[in-house]
Amino acid sequence: MNTKNLKLEKIEDFFKEKIKLNPNNLEANFNLARIYKEKGEHKKAKLLYERVIKIEPKNSSAYNNLANIYKQTGEFNKAIKLYKKVILINPAHVNAHFNLGNTLNQVGHFTKAIKEFKKVFELQPLNLENLYIWSDLDPKILNLNFKKKIIFLMSNKKILKKDLAYGNFLLAKYEYKNKNFEKELKYFLKAHQNYYEEKRLFFDKATNYWLDYLPNNKDLLEIEMPEIENEIKPIFIIGIPRCGSTIVEKVIASGKRYLPIGEECGVISSTVGELILTQKSLKKNVSILKNEIDKKYKNLNLIKQNRNTVFTDKTLENFFFLPLIKIIYPNAKVINCRRNAVSSVISIIKNNLTEVPWAHNLDNIFSYMDIYYKKIDLYKKKYPNFIYDLNFENFQNNPEKEARKVMKFCELDWDKKCLKFYKRTDLISFTSSHRQIRKPIYKPTMDRQQAYRNLLYKYEKKYNWFK
């Protein structure tokens, strides 16, 4: 158990004791709920927030936090109702309007979402993250007057570094609209620098983990042992962020079987990471790892006893763990989504992948991609029938042809509904691709490739794959 968890346990015991003495202690119930939420114990957190609401029926913070849990667990309709309840109690509750807007955006109610983002701007104009999301839904606002407004807001001394980052993201989008690609790239890089500085303490350590420690972890690299007999058949989708993986996952899941979707659940990476922190040997603990990973998948309802053994896990960084995956899930299918390298780099820069530490610096982006290409080349040779290489540009140009191939590889029946995934209202994505799953697959545009390539020429000399 790490230091953070130990501290949480002590605080948890403190509030539990307070509740024993007085079950209606509002502060103790509220704070204990927050702890359970942080630990991922959502059922316990829900019960406590509901108790807080019974004690204080107009506690807007409890309603908002409860809504956040429902949103996190994919119960969007319940979350929406609760956010609306918060606003009914307190019409000026900025977080509730913002959270409601984001949730409506994710489920495809774009017009309603814009209404909430407009309200947030009225209440909190310095919240430039709000404007950033709003501009995605309504690009018409990216005009010259809007640019001047953003620059004015960024000059405010009270502005947070995070919102300063989003201000630069907005200015970049304005320059893109006007085809000023060099200015666009400069603003994006400035935005990422702002964002990295905001989280430097965490990002420095995390970047080192992904770019140095994990790729060179001998224990993981040298893990060689017999495959474990296992009926579970996960479909792992791996690759670089912005490689089309979200759409591919939705296509696979929309066939006759309507597979459970893990999206970016991070089950394997988090479980392996926890073991690494304890400095225990991976080789000696494979069975323990397997049981813990199975348990987490079951908790996410991806594995259902006697009902379902096939599901998707679109945690892209799982390519680091392919030797382990091959041992514990020998019947798994692995789909490697890849796209044009220039498109990958530019798309990562243009999208604020908030919690991805290496994605906020060009040198780090290229280092990570270099690790990815080398690992994939190695594992494709080592496990030739285990990994399916999917070119996303080909997938976009010939959706049915390529989708049929993928379904065949996954040993799933082809169904025309696979390409009608955008009609499914139950399909939700937490990624920056959530709007793309609301429309049919569209053909790629390569017209601006050269403009960006000219700005990134120094990397072309260093990396052979950047061609």
pLDDT tens per residue, range 416-425: 888 887 776 6
> What pLDDT score was predicted for residue 1?
41
Residue 225 clears pLDDT 80, i.e. is over it: no
With cut-offs at 50, 70 and 90, classify the pLDDT of residue 10.
Answer: confident
pLDDT tens per residue, range 385-413: 899 999 999 999 999 999 999 999 999 99
Span 173-179, mean pLDDT?
Answer: 91
| 227 phi and psi angles, rounded to 5 deg | -65, 145
Span 63-84, mean pLDDT?
Answer: 92
> What pLDDT score was predicted for residue 447?
58
Residue with tokens 């089950």: 267
Residue 263 clears pLDDT 50, i.e. is over it: yes
Domain extents in the chain: 211-438
Which has more pLDDT, 294 or 74?
A: 294
As a whole number of angstroms, the longest Cα–Cα distance in the chain is 69
What's the one-letter identity of residue 380? K
Which strands make up the sheet holding 333-338, listed edge to edge?
310-313, 233-239, 333-338, 387-391
Residue with tokens 């690992």: 375
Q: Among 28-37, 211-220, 301-310, 458-467, which is the least confidently predicted range?
A: 301-310
Report the DSSP beta bridge partners of residue 310.
233
pLDDT tens per residue, range 428-440: 655 555 556 667 7
> What pLDDT score was predicted for residue 330?
92
Please enumerate in sequence order all residues whose Cβ is within 8 A of that of 283, keeping only pairs 6 or more positions apart, or say none.
219, 222, 223, 225
Report the DSSP beta bridge partners of residue 237.
335
> What pLDDT score was predicted for residue 308?
65
Please tell me the pTM assigned to this model: 0.85
With cut-offs at 50, 70 and 90, classify the pLDDT of residue 7.
Answer: low
Could you tell me what percent of the chain has a pLDDT over 70? Answer: 92
Q: Which helix (H) or strand (E) holds 237?
A: strand 233-239
Are β-strands 387-391 and 233-239 bridged in parallel, bridged antiparallel, or unpaired? unpaired
pLDDT tens per residue, range 177-201: 888 988 998 999 999 999 999 899 8
Residue 257 clears pLDDT 90, i.e. is over it: no
> What pLDDT score was predicted for residue 3?
41
Residue 339 clears pLDDT 80, i.e. is over it: yes
The secondary structure of 387-398 as a DSSP string is: EEEEEHHHHHHS
> What pLDDT score was predicted for residue 150?
94
Dihedral in degrees, nearest 10, Cα atoms 247, 253, 259, 261: 10
Phi-psi region of 279 (alpha: psi -120 to 50; beta: other; left: phi over 0): left
pLDDT tens per residue, range 109-125: 999 999 999 999 999 99
Residue 238 clears pLDDT 50, i.e. is over it: yes
Which has more pLDDT, 268 or 278?
A: 268
Whole-angstrom distance, CA of residue 467 vs CA of residue 465: 6
> What pLDDT score was predicted for residue 6?
46
Look at the domain 211-438 and name its fold: Rossmann fold (3.40.50)
Please say whether the beta carbons of 250 and 312 come within 8 A. Answer: no
Q: Among 31-40, 244-253, 343-352, 442-451, which is the least confidently predicted range?
A: 442-451
Q: Which helix (H) or strand (E) holds 193?
A: helix 181-198
Helix (H, G, I), strand (E, B) or coil at 286: helix
Please enumerate in sequence order all residues whose Cβ is within 8 A of that of 141, keeping only pairs 6 or more positions apart, or say none.
134, 135
Whole-angstrom distance, CA of residue 200 vs CA of residue 195: 9
